[in-house]
Structure 1
Amino acid sequence: MGDSINKCDCQAINEELADKVKAEMEDDDCISLLSSFFKLIGDDTRIKIMYALSKSELCVNDLAVILNMTKSAISHQLKLLKMSGQVKSRKDGKFVYYTLDDEHVFEIIENALIHVKHQK
């Protein structure tokens, strides 16, 4: 019964184009992962952390100072980012240093910044 709600109830105006685009669409699992990624980064604090990490490898203390937040709050957000694979860490003595997991995350942030600055 729930499937009928999501079924298309019309015909394509340009069927050839609609079929072409439909064939190029990502599968639902990939779209779900993409949506989850945007939900994860759709938080001001996590965006600030990721932006800071796009500039340099940083420890919790440094991030707390940069963002004027408690170490506990930063640690909580870093845990979410790490569990989702957006940041990685390395231990050096008693400190843990964080970096973005890969350059793709950096590129997404940079492109998003270009987009929002263009709209100003």
Structure 2
Amino acid sequence: MVEHEDGINPAMVERGRQMLHDDESYFLMAETFRALADSTRVKIVGCLLEQELCTADLAAILNYSESAVSQHLRVLRQLRLVKQRREGKLVFYSLDDDHVRVLVLVCLNHIRHGSTPDPSVAPILAVLEEER
């Protein structure tokens, strides 16, 4: 291991710098995690993992007012975590894409570490392990 006199390994520092992404990407990731730091929003995303739901159905499932659910959905929509589809007077919501589903399932697997993992996460975890 090559070290600088300050204990810094220049090769490792250079490798670390090459792995960095642009500041805007880190900002958007932080905003995404900030939005998902609210347990109500995570519950909404969880409800949408397998099906699309209208605002009224989400409100009934979560026992919240439609207004409260709509405010949370607005934040999730702005960050492209959910998308909407109108059908007459109803607005239906679903996950924006599979990346959101993967994010939630990997997080669930992480917090359940040590218990039986969700079988749908196994292929995702295998890919992540290969990238290491």
Matched, 1:117 2:112: yes
**Stretches of 4+ aligned residues off by more than 6 angstroms:** none
Asked whether the 8 Å contact 1:12–1:18 carries over to 2, the reply is: no
The 5 A counterparts of 1:84-103 are 84-103=79-98
Question: Relative to structure 1, is the Cα distance of residues 105 and 11 closer, same or farther in structure 2, using a 3 angstrom cutoff?
Answer: farther
The two structures, once aligned, show a CA RMSD in angstroms of: 1.7
The 5 A counterparts of 1:62-81 are 62-81=57-76
Structure 2: 5+ residue stretches without partners: 116-132
Structure 1: 5+ residue stretches without partners: 1-9
Give the TM-score normalised by structure 2. Answer: 0.78
* Structure-2 separation of matches of 1:19 and 1:66: 50
Deviates more, 1:80-89 or 1:109-118: 80-89
Percent identical residues: 37
Q: Which structure shows the bigger proportion of residues in helix conformation?
A: 1
Aligned residues: 111
